[in-house]
Structure 1
Amino acid sequence: MSDLFGADSTAFANIFTYLGLPLSRDLNEDVDAVVMGIPYDLATTGRSGARFGPNGIRQASSQLRWEEQRWPWGFTIRDHLNIIDYGDIVYEEGDSEKMLAQVSQEANRIFSAGKKLLTFGGDHFLTLPLLRAAYQAHGEVALIHFDAHTDTEESDAKYNHGSMFYTAAKEGIYDPGHSVQVGIRTEYDVDNHNLQVLDARWCNNHSPDEIIHQIKQRVGDKPVYLSFDIDCLDPAFAPGTGTPVIGGLSTSTALQILHGLSGLNIVAADVMEVAPAYDHADITSLAGATLALDILHLLASVERA
């Protein structure tokens, strides 16, 4: 079986899994982390197409397979983190209820085995069942949420990618007092909002180091769920998404922020809302694949500590 960044890897051959990782659902004791896809977008309120996000991210990851020691981390990830690609969650087409049940079952299985989980979406609603599973395994978590939207709309709709953090807060899954949203630049109820917001204008006028300081100060030592909606990035850097909003973060800023979060106890993460049909030259898919790789390095940095 090939190594994580094996010598036989190329940018155009045998692109079946993320980074050429082993395709497996064997959660044996040697496995530290799992990447998993959920090709679902029936909760989207804008342009559909994020169901193709997991495949787009995997395909674009072929461009990242050649660099054995990723800059600027200074270590080889496979020396500290054994990762498998779990493949995609399969559900009956159009059946959101079965999708929820399947996601919960597989995520609970992964967390129960003591593994870290990185999920590729799919629309952002998927973070809700993933958060529920993380809560079962780790208790109340802190949320670090990168997005153009707060996704805290008060809604009783069962499937809505704009209200899952409202629902999750009601269920007590995450602690708003230790949670932060980064890159926000759309309407939300400022007077009734318990999460710290580092909006896009503030972020674009401050250094990554200042942003990192705010995030770490807010989160503290709680277990962390990190959720990255690709539309946190400006459409110049991520056109391939369902609800693009101009004025967002650059990929450089986002990567620098992620680099600075080393040391936090991140138990799970996701990269959501990549919609390749609206992409150009795989810009968005490559951004998603690269952000995901740096998130895996964050997980590895905890293992190295």
Structure 2
Amino acid sequence: MALVPTFATPPGFLGLPLREHGAIAVAGIPLDLGTTNRAGAREGPAAIRRASRMLVDGSHPTTRVDPKGLPLADVGDFALALGDLDASLALIERQAADHAHLVALGGEHGITLPLLRVLARRVGGPLALVHFDAHLDTWPESFGQRFSHGQPFFHALEEGLVDPKRMIQLGIRSPVEPEIMDWTRGRGVTVISAIDAHEAGPAAVAARIREVVGDAPAYLSFDIDALDPAFAPGTGTPEAGGFATWQVQAILRRIGGLDFRGMDVVEVCPPFDVAEVTALAAATVAWEYLCRAG
């Protein structure tokens, strides 16, 4: 096979051709109807795919896994209902059901709710959840709306899609009403603030994730605003004081072997990105997930 320079990598994620099915399916979900600040996350999947060209030149340096050797397919973008958030969430749920193991490229964080509904049905009960974010996303409503990007985990907990005692949120640091934090912790969710994570270090954070998740089937949801705006300026709701990219990589590399059944990386907003740094960080998170040790 002829080699091509990096800039000529085909446009699929990691240069993959578009196919309808794979044991592990990468799908774009270009939804941003429920964003509350900057719009533009609908451009996220295309930007993440483009930035992923930097990750195709070999195997992971630690796990020695090359995703090209996995049963991996880029299945393109999910269809959405133009201008209709509720109908779009229903369409996402319907299409996600066609894929046993999904790596979703967002899009806003609201896409996680229909993905969790599908996966919880598939495993026959609530999931463990590893959630990186600046925000709790457990508001019962945002600005009078029930299904914006600030609600997915309120609904996931209320619907029994996630086991709160096996749910851990990392990097939390945004302003939040005390009753929202109290409700979340009161359900049994483990919340690790960005400051606490910085002070503890990646090894301790990873150990806490392992302790919370245990051997349960799990889902990884990564909001790119978990990163500090210095490392991810291209997002809709940036918050100062977040993770550096290396810290996230160090954590993800220490949680290989957990029983992850799917993941998403969301809230990349290319109109506010600089030199693709946010899109590359998001692509790297998905790549780290695919390359994790067994």
The residue number in structure 2 matching 1:61 is 52
> How much has 1:9 moved relative to structure 2?
4.2
Residue segments in structure 1 that go unaligned for 5+ positions in a row: 1-5
> How much has 1:120 moved relative to structure 2?
0.4
Q: Taking structure 1 as reference, are residues 208 and 89 closer, same or farther at Cα in structure 2, changes over 3 Å only?
A: same
The answer (yes or no) to whether the contact 1:10–1:65 under 8 Å persists in 2 is no
Does 1:92 pair with 2:92? Answer: no
Residue among 7, 10, 14 paired with 2:5: 10
The residue number in structure 2 matching 1:71 is 61
Cα distance in 2 between the residues matched to 1:296 and 1:7? 25
The residue number in structure 1 matching 2:129 is 143
- Corresponding residue SS for 1:75: coil
Does 1:157 pair with 2:145? Answer: yes
Cα distance in 2 between the residues matched to 1:166 and 1:204? 26
> How much has 1:265 moved relative to structure 2?
0.3
The answer (yes or no) to whether the contact 2:10–2:16 under 8 Å persists in 1 is no
Q: Within 5 A, what are the aligned runs for 1:163-242?
A: 163-186=151-174, 187-188=176-177, 189-193=180-184, 194-242=188-236
The residue number in structure 2 matching 1:134 is 119
- Corresponding residue SS for 1:98: helix
The residue number in structure 2 matching 1:107 is 96
Residue segments in structure 2 that go unaligned for 5+ positions in a row: none
Percent identical across equivalent pairs? 41
The residue number in structure 2 matching 1:121 is 106
Cα distance in 1 between the residues matched to 2:65 and 2:30? 32
Backbone CA RMSD of aligned residues: 1.5
Q: Which 4+ residue blocks in structure 1 deviate beyond 6 angstroms?
A: none
Cα distance in 2 between the residues matched to 1:73 and 1:133? 30
Normalization by structure 2: what TM-score?
A: 0.93
Q: 1:95 corresponds to which letter in structure 2?
A: D
The answer (yes or no) to whether the contact 1:9–1:20 under 8 Å persists in 2 is no
The residue number in structure 1 matching 2:35 is 44
Cα distance in 2 between the residues matched to 1:159 and 1:108? 20
Deviation string for 1:18-54 (max 9, x for gaps)?
A: 01112111x3xxx321100011100011101000000
Cα distance in 2 between the residues matched to 1:207 and 1:7? 43
> How much has 1:77 moved relative to structure 2?
3.3
Cα distance in 1 between the residues matched to 2:52 and 2:2? 15
Cα distance in 2 between the residues matched to 1:290 and 1:203? 20
> How much has 1:64 moved relative to structure 2?
1.4
Does 1:265 pair with 2:279? Answer: no
Normalization by structure 1: what TM-score?
A: 0.90
- Corresponding residue SS for 1:145: strand
> How much has 1:14 moved relative to structure 2?
4.8
Cα distance in 1 between the residues matched to 2:202 and 2:210? 12
